[in-house]
Structure 1
Amino acid sequence: MWSIPAHMESMECYACHADWAPQCYGCHVTMDYSKGKMDVDWIANANSAGPDGLTADGPLGTNGLKSAGKASETRSYLRWETPVLGINGEGRVTPLMPGCQVISTVIGKDGSVLAKNEIWNTPEGKGIDHSPVQPHTAGRRARTCESCHSNPKALGYGIEDGRFMRGVEKDLVVDLQDAKGALLPGKTSVQSPAIPKLDHDLSQLVTRDGEQLVSVGSHWPLGGPLPQKMREKMERTGLCMGCHHKQADGKFWEKVAEEGWRDNDAHRDLMKKAIEAYADKSATANR
């Protein structure tokens, strides 16, 4: 790490040394105003302090002041490992964690649905926020090179390239289907209602062509996802194919293959020999 100037100049130490960060993806909030439902009004309570300094919710056995509407909340999924990387308020590479990723449903006083799985936009994109964080989980052992350079999630492209939540903008029905995906039963039920504006995974920040999908570090002018050029320089996904695409060429592969299989140490030794041979060839060509 210390021998790579770009790492030392542009990264927070905890970008690599943070062992984990809490990642709560999707904040599904329902506000239900039907049937006279009420809930604790935390703002009103906080502003109700009396001469003795106690607020309305101070006495034991009471939640204090209430207001119309009952709030409930669930989430889509949780993760802890290999947080996404982005840029913090000082312009340095840092871990990110989900901020308020609000997906709202509002039920009116008469029981009608006023909003269902609604996402609210910000100037940066969808209000599915990610924020720079110092997670205070630093350890001696840093993240591996692969956990950043060959991990689409770390680069901002989503867990496993964002493939797990594709299609959530449509209702999900799990039932018998034919070979073309058409449902066979005449009567089915929706297992997971659509989130119409969510056409990507909650862990995805950007596309590979540079479109920012969600808000990132919006409190800080320098905050945001990893810049396009940085992502392009960082990503080293699929490098195995640099050699192994030749495996289908029998005549070529006979020249480099050996009986049995190569373990990791043998692979590294072969790569070392290859780059040393390339260096020698380049030096000879430049004489």
Structure 2
Amino acid sequence: MMRCIVALFLLLSAALALAGENCTVCHKKVVRGAHRGLPCLSCHLDETRTLANPASRESGAAGCVGCHKGYAALFDHAMGSRQGERDFVAASYGRVDKGFFGNNCGACHLGGCTDCHAGRGHEIGKPRDRDCFTCHKGYFVGTDYYGMAPREDSMRYQRGEVAYGEAYLKMTPDLHAEAGLSCGACHTMKSLAAGRKSAKVCTDCHEPDRRVPEHRIAAHLEKMECPACHSAWAAQEYGTFFLRFSNSPSQELYALRRDQAAEEYVKSAYLRRQDAPPLGLNARGMVSPIRPEFIAYFTDVRNDRAVWDENRLLAARWKAFFPHTVRRGTVMCEGCHENPRRFLLERKEERIYQLQAEGMTLPSFWDATGQQVVNGAFYPARRYQVLSGKTAEYRRAYLEKWQSLVNHVEASSAR
């Protein structure tokens, strides 16, 4: 009888052991961070059919969304789907190279939750700015928040300080960065999962100061996005060249960064600027900063000769955007009201770059002819005629602006 009881006890003990987790018998893993103390199967789901990567896009983040409800939707929005980039490539470089996107555009965007959540093995935590800047750097809005602008592609300019794998120019940072606000102050997980770029707009925190002359002009507040005036600078790339080489030793003569393109490609830009961005209309019809999404040129080089048109223009697309370079000060009145070039209405006699003389198709980068804004429109010429009229109201505001600057005296030293 006693033997039967002992045997039954051993069988029950074995069954209980099999029913519990025994992952760490083989897997010497220690869970740290936000998930410390959780059993393995909280994320890996099933011991017999273990989910190897519970945070991956392929699994729909099945190991995460059991607790973090609704966040699988992130994979369907811009960060995960890359639909904007895919559409652009399909309409441009993809026309001449079907594999272009996979070979040249696969480094960024969401592959799983741990891309952002400090995914070093089993150390899960809340995203930090440095996690965002894995992708949001260079020509993608992000590191400009901390005053980092992309350098030229030529290796002679790939020098100085490096952050997040990019050599950068030191520029004026966003005043919110100076105040200590991180990316998450405006870009919450809930807003991203809902497909919104941010959780807040400027007026959620700031009330326009009516003592500022510009804020007393109704059209400024009713028709303009805040960054149209308050963006100190923005990275702008005019003319993005991809050259594809086959059986062409001359490829080695190009002293350019080679980490931006597939092995058979060389990438460079005609011109890069880091000043106040041009203005157009966004999807809401509001005046907004715009810049080239890419003015895309392509050359196919075989046996060191261009196969057909050299520098063939494949797309000239602009995009309304929000530079993360906000400052309190703004441009003077004439910076918009007497500057048609800023609205891509450059006068022919004022052109400096003669693009057509160099076989680049467009009459000018700052002439809307042959170009488009994918999420808005260029500023209409007829509206600019009204904007540039020096009415009595404009003259009064202009004088008041200058008086406000003349009468504004900064303390010479701290007291």
Q: Normalising by structure 2, report the TM-score.
A: 0.37
How far 1:164 moved relative to its partner? 0.9
**Distance in 1 between the 2:317 and 2:299 partners?**
18
Q: 1:161 to 1:233 in 2, by over 3 A?
A: farther
The verdict on how the C-alpha distance between 1:26 and 1:203 changes in structure 2, with shifts beyond 3 A counting, is: same
Pair 1:196–1:82, CA change in 2 (3 A): closer
Partner of residue 169, structure 1: 356
The equivalent residue for 2:340 is 152
- Of 64, 77, 94 in structure 1, the residue corresponding to residue 288 of structure 2 is 94
1:225 to 365, 369, 378: 378
From 361, 370, 379, the equivalent of 1:197 is: 361
Where structure 2 has 5 or more consecutive residues not aligned to the other structure, the ranges are 1-213, 252-258, 392-397, 404-415
Contact 1:162 1:203 in 2 (8 A): no
**Counterparts of 2:301 and 2:306, CA distance in 1:** 5
319, 325, 330: which is aligned to 1:142? 330
**Structure 1 residues 106 and 95: CA distance shift in structure 2, 3 A:** same
1:1-287 → structure 2 map (5 Å cutoff)? 1-34=214-247, 70-108=264-302, 110-115=303-308, 116-120=310-314, 127-158=315-346, 163-166=351-354, 168-170=355-357, 194-198=358-362, 200-205=363-368, 212-216=369-373, 218=374, 220=375, 223-236=376-389
- For residues 349 and 234 of structure 2, what CA distance do their matches in structure 1 show? 20
Displacement after TM superposition at 1:169 (Å):
2.2
Work out which structure has the larger RCO, using CA pairs closer than 8 Å and 6 or more positions apart in sequence.
1
**Distance in 1 separating the partners of 2:234 and 2:348:** 18
AA in 1 matched with 2:367: Q
Q: Name whichever structure is richer in helix by fraction.
A: 2
CA contact (8 A) 2:340 2:384 kept: no
Post-superposition CA distance 1:43-69 (Å, at most 9, x none) = xxxxxxxxxxxxxxxxxxxx9xx97x6
Separation (CA, whole Å) in 1 of partners of 2:348 and 2:324? 26
Shift of 1:73: 1.5
CA contact (8 A) 1:105 1:118 kept: yes
Which has the higher Rg, Structure 1 or Structure 2? 2
SS in 2 for 1:137: coil
Distance of aligned partners of 1:35 and 1:82 in 2 relative to their CA distance in 1, 3 Å threshold: closer
Contact residue 27 and residue 76 of structure 1 kept, 8 A:
yes
Alignment match, 1:245: none
Decide whether the 8 Å contact of 1:162 with 1:204 is kept in 2.
Answer: no
Cα distance change of structure 1 residues 8 and 114 upon mapping to structure 2, 3 Å threshold:
same
Structure 1 residues 128 and 159: alpha-carbon distance in aligned structure 2, compared to 1, 3 A threshold: farther
Partners of 1:213 and 1:160 lie apart in 2 by 15
Map Cα deviations across residues 215-259 of structure 1 (whole Å, 9 max, x no partner): 21x1x3xx010123321111259x9xxxxxxxxxxxxxxxxxxxx
Measure the CA separation in 2 of the matches of 1:99 and 1:161. 27
Check conservation: 2:244, 2:265, Cα contact below 8 A.
yes
1:153 is displaced (CA, Å) by 2.0
CA distance in 2, matches of 1:16, 1:145: 10
**Paired residue type of 1:201:** S
Aligned partner of 1:79: which letter?
Answer: R
5+ residue gaps, structure 1, are 39-62, 121-126, 171-193, 206-211, 240-263, 270-287
Number of matched pairs: 173
Percentage of identical aligned residues: 24
Displacement, 1:159?
8.9
Cα distance 1:22–1:231, how it changes in 2: closer, same or farther (>3 A)? same
Distance 2:245 2:276 in 1: 36
User: Residue in 2 aligned with 1:182?
Assistant: none
Report the Cα distance in structure 2 between the residues aligned to 1:140 and 1:231, rounded to whole angstroms.
25
* TM-aligned CA distance change 1:20 to 1:164, over 3 Å: same
Q: Counterpart amino acid of 2:388?
A: E
Alignment root-mean-square deviation, CA: 3.2
Q: Deviations over 1:188-240 (max 9, x none)?
A: xxxxxx32523x222332xxxxxx43121x1x3xx010123321111259x9x
SS at structure 2 position matched to 1:22: strand
TM-score by length of 1: 0.53
Cα 1:161–1:27 change in 2 (3 A) is farther
Give me the whole-angstrom Cα distance separating, in 1, the residues matched to 2:248 and 2:219. 60
2: distance between equivalents of 1:37 and 1:169?
Answer: 25
Code of the aligned partner of 1:163? R
